[in-house]
Structure 1
Amino acid sequence: MICYLVYIYMFFLKIYWTDGERDSIEVAELNGTNRKVLFNSKVYNPRAITLHYHHGLMFWSDWGNQEPKIESAHMDGTNRKTLINKNIAWPNGLAIDRPASRLFWNDGKLNTIESSDFDGKDRRVIIQNVPHPYGLVVVGSHIYWTDWKTQALHRADKDTGDDRTIIRGDLEGLMDVRSVQSDNIAENACGEDNGGCSHLCLRNPNGYSCACPTGLARSKINPNHCEPIPRTFLLTAARYSLSQISLDTSDAWDVTLPIKDEMQNVIDIDFHYRKKLIFYADIGTNSIKRVDMYNMSDVRTIVSKNLSSPDGLTVDWLADNIYWTNTGNKVIEVARLDGSSRKVIVSRQVDDPRSLVVNPKRGFLYWSDWDQINPRIERSNLDGSNRIAIIKKDLSFPIGLVIDFSNRRLYWIDAKLNEERIETSDYAGNNRVTLPIDKTHPFSLTQYQEWLFWTDWDHKCIMRAEKINGHGKIVIRPMHAAMGITMVSEERQTSWNPCMVNNGNCTHLCFFKHKGYSCGCPDKYTPSCKTSPTSRVSNVCPENKGYDCIKDDEWEDEDEYEKSMNPKYGPEPEEPGIVEQTSAFYVITLVPMIAIILASIGVVAYILIKRGKKNYLYGASRSFSNPNYYSNDANAQQNPADRKQFIWKRLKYDKSQERVYEETVGASPEVTSLIPAILTPCSSNCEAVTPEMERSPSVTPLHKVEIQ
């Protein structure tokens, strides 16, 4: 956010501001709650803003996309119109002369201070040849303004511009100026009961209107009330925060959730819709936490001990279990939603587990492994049994696993640099398809109805495309540092299984399986734990007890279920994937393989030495330089999973990718106009700027990326 100017009306208890980076004009309560975007369409570089509460009007300046202008609207965002759009360049300060009903502004490029009536008519030039005016205010019969070049506060007659004088000089870094006038107090139009509004009560010329914060829909019962939270929204991890984009409204605007937590590097998230809980994994603190959707201050750490790089997590909303990859320790674990009954379910032959997703309707758990020799996607029962690799050909860095329950498809991302792609298969890994989505670097993936949504590192945004064919790719919202993403929706967490009834009568962990379930015990010895239920729950959903007993055709076709248990790879069936193997298998299989490998290495080494090309092995190696998602090199060095030296580099988030804005602000016309003539600023790197000029404000927002 680049907040240029803020206007606070204390007795109205609201704050209005312009955001030059996000190209928006917003309002909120004085404590920052109930934040609402009033304008984000046809807003290109908003600057100053001022209010006339008595008339219910707001005015703002916009440097524009080659069309600078001054606009007005009612304070509730209605009746927007353009007042001035000719003979204007860099409109900075705005001020209201309430007794005279006139609007004043200054222009940093034309070096003028002007005024007009509230309709933009009767325009007058008050002062010319002002070096570089910025802030502006009207008090009594005078105008006061700040000037960047003179670094002083000036005053002059508001009607004629005469009697110009410097009130105070040598004010380094001078910016805006405001006045406090006791005779400018108006009665709060919303009264003591907030106008009967549940959230925002906003002034307009006729009184007031009720409004909802961005992303919240109006209540269908009472139009003056808003829903407490969105029913359907995209939830995104942005390393140091979580953001939501509501699908209940048409805003498509990201809102940072007010979570009371010092996040360091959150990369994956999931949710439990029925319990209204959000779960997130922070590899900066090596912890997994949960937060209440209704109370963002209720943050609880559920897992933190013996945890190294929790790169992925997923929630079983039917059994109330949470699964995660403990990448540094090379295991996959499960626990109850509060972190109790912790248990390792997959530990053998795990090299680099990453993303994972649960299908509690069928009792399957899927995860990706970045094994340096054999990258793959695996599947098991929810207790870790019946493990099998379903995708292991033509795969490098599989991440972003997500399930389309309606079409019974598994989707994933292969993030190999310069060969990034989104793929899909059925639950068994058969019928594999690569979607024709190019010019993107996806990291995390989610699905809702007919769409796929993903975070993109190259373009720093959230994108969307059709899930069937990848067509209709668009940018949903620009977003820096976007990592994990999931769609929070009741529609994605339906169905029923026996684990929902009193935890299947299991003492600790309940794992659903095909037409049945099993009980599990935590790794920590617990005498009270039983591996069998005290009484078995029927597989038939109990009607009229509040459960989602709508018929689910997951089990209607037994032949299809049997097919899902027998994956194939291409036209010819291959051997089953990884299973738990005996010591005899290792001896019989691995010893001959090692002998063959050693013999091959000896032959190759002999040939290379004889040819005098000792560096050939290194010259022919392929290096896939993928970005990293650790915050810095020190963090990566501390992580055991990152100590391997290999020709493949791990997929991580590179903080240097966040430099786009910093590298472009030097091209700001207002900033470069202040650089002494003896200096020659370049277009992308202004190292010649003096330390004093580096403190000048950044005024050019991040340029939007157009996706072809």
Structure 2
Amino acid sequence: MNGSFSCGCHPGYLLELDGRRCKAAGQEPFLLASVQFDLLLYGLRSFKEDVLTFTGKKIIFSVDYDWKEKKVFWLSLDAESIKWITMDKKNKGTIVKETPSPFSLSVFEDVIYWSDTKMRTIQKANKDTGKNRTVLIKRLGQPFGLKVIHETLQPIAFNPCQNLGCSHLCLLGPKQSGMCRCPIGFLLANDGTTCVLPADTAFLFLVSPSVITQVYLKNIQSTIGLKTLPEHKALSVPIVNQITAMDYVLQDQSVYAADSEGGFIALFKLKEQELVFRGKVLQLEGDVVTSLAVDWITHNIYWSSRQQLIHVTLASKAYTTILFDRDLSQPNSIAVHPPSGVMCFSHMQEEGAGVIGSILLNGLNYKEYKTGPERLAAFTHIEKMLFWTTVNDTTKVWYSDGLQTKHLWFEVKKDVVDLKVYSKFSQQGTNHCVEKNGGCSHICLPYPGGRTCKCHIGYNSTNATACGKDVRCPEMTRPCKDGRKCLLRERFCDGQADCLDESDEENCADGVRSLAVDWFTGQLYWTNRKRKAIYAGAADGSGYATVLGKNIDPKELVLLPAKRVRPSPSIALVLELQASGGYDPYGQEVNRLISRGWVKIDIFDSHNRVISGRWKVPIRILPVNPRLTTGEINAVPQLENAELYLRIVNARDADVQSFAPITHNNAGLYKYPPQAPARSLFAADAPLPSYPSPYRFPNSQMMCSSYLETVDPPPPSAMLFEEFE
């Protein structure tokens, strides 16, 4: 093109932003300098200074660097020696002594070379040991400077910029890659190679609680370190009293702003110098939106609130769901890139460190990056540039241009709650949700290579794309977090996951699951559901100790503090029946053990003898009440037709009783206990009445024989059991 030019650099060098000067590629170049008694390292990009060593009163005269060993060699006029130190400062030493007036040195391969003006020589020696010292040149004149020249010290490498076709600048990147960049005042177009003038199409929205400020980027490189706002214009926001977050969609010039006082997100249209209100797209009750970002392809709104969760809302149909339920501390900024399906957000950790987290837009693959002790207020990005703010006494706006990691653009004394940047090349691309909402009936969430359909809160997935409304949970029940199931309240935090998403065991207190008391000593024993241990302690709280804690999972605790009990007619056996299967009162299938009924049977007769035998006992409906007498128990309704078959064995007969097999074939041997009188409430020939049961047993085949008084049978003989076999 007539009148235009483009500067290039030698391989291994980068073109400066002014488009004319070149600088070394790769890691940041350092200036190694001797300043009287100090040996300094000075970063040529970061401008940071570090003292490598201090020699006291010995002047450092010449230095060189060994890339292979990562050592710095220097000589001192006063010390009459050559010394070295490693770049990490951990090791140092003297390599050459007795050189009276060293002046200049150079290192190449395994040899160090130096000049000595008093001896009028140029010498060499092994750089590691100082041995093999040899005089190379000796003249009448004094030798001063010297330099080793070899092609390996300035290698020629492949030029990755040769075929990129950059319109202005090509900079070398890591792993022999090239990157097109633009001079000051230009922006890189979407083709990645062409630089164009931004005019007013590239700008930053700086969001304060009462105003949105549009700051232009066109002169950003020439306005570094400002103490006031660069070129800008202020936009007042109607109906919003306290702005907490905003975002902008270029295609239709829509502005979304959150108001903390009203608890809503409002939609505006940007028309020249003002914002025109179009309505509310989200209204919260008792909560406040703390940050938001808009997917410009689907118009999904991603937002966080004081609940410290990240939600997503399809504004056109008012569908909302929880996207990320990890407990975040003070989430304050969100940025999304719909074509790649990635979201970033910032929040604070408990120790005060700023954190940038990233996830896919379907809520998976969480990663995080700690930013340091300064409070990270907001961040955003545009065409290879990252912008963020930090807050101390002032609000500072920083940016990274892909070459230098950190530039201070400007600082202001105002509260900044959000930060967003745009250009005419922003918000381009597509994803799997662009056509017909990805086929999803509610919310479509893109991720790299696909999409996920999510349902509005209160709805469940009926298949991969469709949603159906949840059944409202009855009283005494609660829904699982995914809304797909209702559970009795006591099934939450009981140590067993019943919800499909296991949400019934989330956020449970670290507390006691079961408790038992030693009635002789008054000692308490309890189990801990989270620590997976059994503890014992004094009832007065004076102390406790771990009884068993080898990663067990205790659910129930039964304590037998005494080996023998004195016989008494007042002692009875009380059993609680637990079973699974059937359905609860709310139509939910029961797939875990729960209490169904109970029985009580006397152990000793009036002469303190064990009532041994094979007994069947009607199971009574809940609640359990061990204080009832036998007659009172018979007045308690039976649990459908359920009966418990059991043996009570005297110790003297234990061996004989154990031979009897327990099968349905032996059911006729089991009788009702002799001390339990016949049902006084019903005639012996009348059918058993039915009582409403809180549970239905499918295909129940429980036996119910007529209730007859029987005589306590003697212990069975061995011959009797031989017949059964």
> Shorter-normalised TM-score: what interval?
0.3 to 0.5
Max Rg structure: 2
Instruction: Specify which structure has the higher proportion of helix.
Output: 1
Instruction: Specify which structure has the higher proportion of strand.
Output: 2
TM-score scaled by structure 2? 0.33
Higher relative contact order (CA closer than 8 Å, sequence separation 6+)? 1
